[in-house]
Amino acid sequence: MKIKIKGAIILLLTVFLIVGFSSVTKEEKKSEFKVAWSIYAGWNPWAYAKESGILDKWAAKYDIDIKLVKMDYIPSIEAYTSKEVDACVMTNMDALTIPVASGIPSTAIILGDFSNGNDAILVRNNLKINGLKGKKVSLVEYSVSHYLLSRALDKNGMKDSDVRVINVSDSDIAPAYVANDEQEAVVTWNPLVMEIMKTPGISKIFDSSQIPGEILDLMMINKNVLDKNPELALALNGAWFEVMSIMSTRGAKADNALVQMAKAGGSSLNEYKAQLKTTAMFYKAGDAVNYMSGDEIKSNMKRVRNFCFKYKLLGDRVNTPDDIGIQFPDGSVLGNQSNILFYFDSSYMMENAR
């Protein structure tokens, strides 16, 4: 009896240890990839790429299989950070605070667009930015909205501590603001901004068009996966810019594509077109390459990085903003050269710039 129990315990322990150790995943050459996306004006084209077969065509060209997975925004980034998906679309700031801060080296292989009014500060009672002093502002703390608020305050000579930030969960921020007259200020993104603006008495006092290029929407790919499997980047770029050229050429095909994209994002065609107006899409690969290789992106990333550091979002091992390195296409590095975790790589986009 005693030996049986002892044996059972040892077996259990062994099983547990094996289970524990089997969570190590090593990147290697493979042919099946998962790419996550979430609903957003600049990312809905991925749904069209999938439905129209364009993505499969490009995947077949490079002899790989790409599975496009639709998720909610934050869960998609979490899936990317826990290596359940190989690539994911996200903003530059979220790329810094979630995967990069968790030590996942990530490369931006597609610069899809930047927010050009998609993120905004809305107020009641015609408050001005200076009037926000001492007031409560509802937003999703430590998100792009928080960054936007910080920039707005900065541009008006105010400090972040001049306002009181109330963290509200993503899904409830719009209905709660609309229903409560006492809430004076909210910072959020589209399509919620458009929804809220339908209510009378609410005005927009600042939006991302006043800080163009600071909120970038990127396709991030795990660098270790990319190094072993560059075909993934080539296929994704090929598919993306084919869709981009369809979108930007006037005609029935473009309209049809837009209808599908709107449906994928859960909005009407007109709503989607309105969202696109406040999204500065890089329809031409050449434009995206130029922007990524320019100087503006460097100073913008510096601002974003400093914001993230200030709020301790870069991880607990980071003691100065320079501890994490961000590399740009020309090879220059912002920060620690021996700890580069964020890469901008325009070479794959360049393939499509011809």
Partner 1 sequence: MFFDINAKPGKSISIFLGILLFGLAVMLYGSASHSRHADNPQDKLVPTPTQMWKSFSNAIFRPVIEQEFNDDGELIPNDEPKNLREAFKVGKHWEMLRNGEWQLLEDTLASGYRVLIAMLFIFAGVLLGLYMGMFPYLDKLLYRFILFFDKIPALAVLPILFIVFGLDETAKISLIVIGVAPTIILDTYLRVKDVPKENITKGMTLKASTQEIIYKIVFPQVFPKVLDTLRLNFKAVILFLIAGEALAAEAGLGYRIFVVRRYMDMATIIPYVIWISVLAFSIDFFLRRWIKKKFIWIKK
Nearer to partner 1, 78 or 119 (CB): 78
Distance (Å, whole) CA 121 – CA 147: 11
Nearer to partner 1, 179 or 252 (CB): 179
Among 6, 13, 30, 61, binds partner 1 (CB under 8 A): 13
Give the footprint of partner 1 on residues 63-82 (CB under 8 A). 74, 78, 81-82
Taking CB under 8 A as the rule, does residue 142 contact partner 1?
Answer: yes
Give the footprint of partner 1 on residues 270-309 (CB under 8 A). 302, 305-306, 309
Q: How far is the CB of 331 from partner 1 (least distance, A)?
A: 18
**Binding range to partner 1, per CB under 8 A, among 47-55, 63-71, 170-178, 267-275:** 170-178
Distance (Å, whole) CA 181 – CA 183: 5
Taking CB under 8 A as the rule, does residue 25 contact partner 1?
Answer: yes
Query: Three-state SS for 315?
Result: coil
With CB under 8 A as the rule, give the number of residues binding partner 1: 55
Reference 214, options 301, 287, 140; nearest CA is 301
Distance (Å, whole) CA 272 – CA 261: 8
Q: How far is the CB of 177 from partner 1 (least distance, A)?
A: 9
Among 29, 182, 198, 354, binds partner 1 (CB under 8 A): 182
Distance (Å, whole) CA 184 – CA 137: 7
Taking CB under 8 A as the rule, does residue 17 contact partner 1?
Answer: yes
Distance (Å, whole) CA 337 – CA 48: 39
The letter for the amino acid at 68 is L
* Sheet containing 185-189, strands listed edge to edge, beginning at the edge strand earlier in sequence: 136-139, 185-189, 119-124, 202-207
**Sequence-ordered list of residues with C-beta below 8 angstroms from that of 212, at least 6 positions apart, any chain:** 114, 116, 280
Q: What is the DSSP letter of 142?
A: T
Q: How far is the CB of 202 from partner 1 (least distance, A)?
A: 16
Reference 214, options 266, 144, 274, 134; nearest CA is 144
Reference 353, options 288, 271, 301, 305; nearest CA is 288
Give the footprint of partner 1 on residues 86-105 (CB under 8 A). 97-98, 101-104
Distance (Å, whole) CA 346 – CA 107: 10
Q: How far is the CB of 243 from partner 1 (least distance, A)?
A: 30
DSSP string, 47-99: HHHHHTTHHHHHHHHTT-EEEEEE--HHHHHHHHHTTSSSEEEEEHHHHHHTT
Among 49, 55, 89, 168, binds partner 1 (CB under 8 A): 168
Q: How far is the CB of 346 from partner 1 (least distance, A)?
A: 23
**Binding range to partner 1, per CB under 8 A, among 173-181, 198-206, 280-288, 290-298:** 173-181
Nearer to partner 1, 133 or 317 (CB): 317
The letter for the amino acid at 135 is K
**Binding range to partner 1, per CB under 8 A, among 51-59, 265-273, 284-292, 317-325:** 317-325
Taking CB under 8 A as the rule, does residue 3 contact partner 1?
Answer: no
DSSP string, 245-308: HHHHS-SHHHHHHHHHHHHHTTS-HHHHHHHHHTEEE--SHHHHHHHHTSSHHHHHHHHHHHHH
Q: How far is the CB of 241 from partner 1 (least distance, A)?
A: 31
Among 44, 91, 115, 143, binds partner 1 (CB under 8 A): 143
Distance (Å, whole) CA 341 – CA 120: 29
Taking CB under 8 A as the rule, does residue 338 contact partner 1?
Answer: no
Q: How far is the CB of 17 from partner 1 (least distance, A)?
A: 6
**Binding range to partner 1, per CB under 8 A, among 210-218, 244-252, 255-263, 314-322:** 314-322
Residues binding partner 1 (CB under 8 A): 1, 5, 12-13, 16-17, 19-21, 23-26, 74, 78, 81-82, 97-98, 101-104, 136, 138, 140-143, 164-169, 172, 175-176, 179-180, 182-183, 302, 305-306, 309, 313, 315-317, 320-322, 334-335
